[in-house]
């Protein structure tokens, strides 16, 4: 016969409700007690019936995680960290990719509403109004997008952009280009505002652009035409494509133009020149976003903004301006 929750409770010397909470709400159980319960459950081969539990508790113990482009190396560390954090709370994560399409994003949210207890929206492309409307149907936490009144985890792109501009001006660059990403991107907005606020430097904004290597490749002509000697790219993929496009036009990095990316993806460390970049704390963002979402799911109405610090990593793609 299948092992039941009562068998586990009897063997662990606890009440049935304690076994239930050990799986469904572990933060409500003494850590030593939960460890004992889980060990007994493992020994007996007990597995909780998620479907039955969902009927009695109204919880699926599933979360949705929607990203703009799963092929972008920025997202996997965030996804893995979010999944690991969710497992600690006995939750599973459904990952979905919108391919940078706002309509697909909205459809996915509506599809997931009945299947998950809450949704993490990472770099969403939806309008603020649409996000506010959809949040009435299911708890949200936003990552790298600010919407008033919603729980949000942000990576401080503005600070990183300021550090990048200061680095370039310190190398003697006085005309800079900011190669932005998709239209409506929060990251692009933060980069533009930070760069525009810097003194003693002339900044031109080039975009919108696809947040891909091909987007950077296509932007190379505009960068050359702008006369900029220093460039801050929307992300590392754009920066890598830009360096390739500049090389095709006989422009060498960093001899002729210095380039800085955003994200610190592995490809940026392996190419030549190695990419100077703004490192983003993606794993930390994934963990914190899950904690905030589960707080909302537990009817504690999580609000507020958590801002995570970014850092500038100087490598080989930046150098002194030519005189």
The answer for 320, left when phi > 0, alpha when psi is -120 to 50, beta otherwise, is beta
CA atoms within 13 A on the CB side of 212: 10
Q: Give the tens place of pLDDT for each residue, 106-134.
A: 999 999 988 899 999 999 999 999 999 99
Lowest-confidence pick of 38-52, 59-73, 188-202: 38-52
Cis bond before residue 122 (omega within 30° of 0) = no
Q: How far apart are CA 42 and CA 219, in angstroms?
A: 56
Exposed, middle or buried, 174 (CB in 10 Å: 0-12/13-18/19+)? Answer: middle
> What does the block give as tokens for 235?
């992300």
- Write down the CATH superfamily of domain 5-48: lambda repressor-like DNA-binding domains (1.10.260.40)
Reply yes or no on whether the pLDDT at 66 is more than 50. yes
Helix, strand and coil content of the chain, in percent to the nearest 5, comes to: 45, 15, 35
The domain spans of the chain are 5-48, 62-154+282-308, 157-280
Contacts 24+ apart (CB under 8 A), 246-250: 246/220, 248/220, 249/220, 249/221, 249/224
Token pair listed for 251: 């422009």
Beta strand extents in 26-136 (DSSP E only): 62-67, 92-97, 118-122
Of 158, 105, 153, 159, the closest CA to residue 133 belongs to 105
Spatial distance between the Cα atoms of 226 and 222, rounded to a whole number of angstroms: 6
**Same fold for the pair 5-48 and 157-280:** no
Q: What is the pLDDT of residue 193?
A: 94
Query: What is 157-280's CATH topology?
Result: Rossmann fold (3.40.50)
Q: What is the pLDDT of residues 206-215, one digit of tens each?
A: 999 999 999 9
pLDDT value, residue 53: 57
At 126, give phi and psi (nearest 5°). Answer: -70, 160
Distance CA 103, CA 125 (A): 9
- Interior angle at CA 110, CA 105 and CA 116, nearest 5: 105
pTM here? 0.81
* 249-300 residue pLDDT tens: 999 999 999 999 999 999 999 999 999 999 999 999 999 999 999 988 776 5
Q: What is the pLDDT of residues 72-90, one digit of tens each?
A: 999 999 999 999 999 988 8
Nearest CA to 140 out of 204, 63, 25 is that of 63
How many residues are given for the chain? Answer: 323
Interval 311-320 mean pLDDT: 98
Is the pLDDT confidence value at 24 over 80? no
Looking at the domain covering 62-154+282-308, what would its CATH class be? alpha beta
pLDDT confidence tier of residue 302, bands split at 50, 70 and 90: low
Task: Using only the alpha carbons of the chain, give its radius of gyration.
Answer: 23
Mean predicted confidence (pLDDT) in 48-72:
76
- Going by the DSSP 8-state scheme, the letter that residue 316 receives in this structure is S
Place of tokens 């003494």: 30
């Amino acid at each position: 016969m299948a092992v039941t929750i009562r068998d586990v409770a009897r063997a662990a010397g606890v009440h049935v409700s304690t076994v239930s909470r050990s799986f469904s709400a572990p933060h409500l159980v003494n850590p030593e007690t939960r460890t004992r319960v889980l060990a007994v459950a493992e020994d007996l081969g007990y597995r909780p019936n998620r479907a039955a539990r969902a009927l009695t508790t109204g919880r699926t113990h599933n979360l949705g995680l929607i990203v703009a482009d799963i092929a972008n190396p920025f997202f996997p560390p965030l996804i893995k960290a979010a999944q690991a954090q969710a497992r600690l709370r006995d939750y599973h994560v459904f990952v979905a990719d919108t391919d940078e399409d706002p309509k697909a994003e909205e459809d996915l949210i509506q599809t997931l509403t009945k299947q998950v207890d809450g949704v993490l929206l990472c770099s969403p492309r939806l309008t603020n109004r649409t996000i506010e409307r959809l949040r009435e149907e299911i708890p949200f936490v936003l990552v790298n997008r600010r919407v008033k009144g919603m729980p949000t985890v942000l990576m401080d792109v503005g600070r990183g952009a300021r550090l990048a501009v200061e680095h370039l001006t310190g190398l003697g660059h006085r005309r800079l280009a900011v190669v932005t990403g998709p239209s409506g991107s929060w990251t692009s907005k933060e980069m533009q505002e930070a760069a525009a606020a810097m003194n003693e430097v002339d900044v031109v904004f080039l975009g919108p652009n696809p947040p891909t290597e091909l987007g950077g490749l296509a932007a190379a002509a505009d960068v050359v035409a702008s006369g900029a000697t220093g460039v801050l790219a929307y992300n590392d993929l754009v920066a890598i494509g830009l360096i390739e496009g500049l090389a095709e036009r006989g422009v060498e990095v960093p001899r002729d133009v210095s380039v800085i990316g955003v994200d610190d993806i592995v490809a940026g460390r392996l190419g030549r020149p190695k990419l100077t970049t703004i490192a983003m704390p993606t794993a930390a963002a994934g963990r914190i976003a899950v904690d905030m979402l589960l707080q909302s799911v537990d009817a504690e109405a999580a609000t507020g903004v958590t801002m995570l610090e970014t850092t500038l990593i100087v490598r080989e793609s930046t150098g002194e301006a030519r005189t």
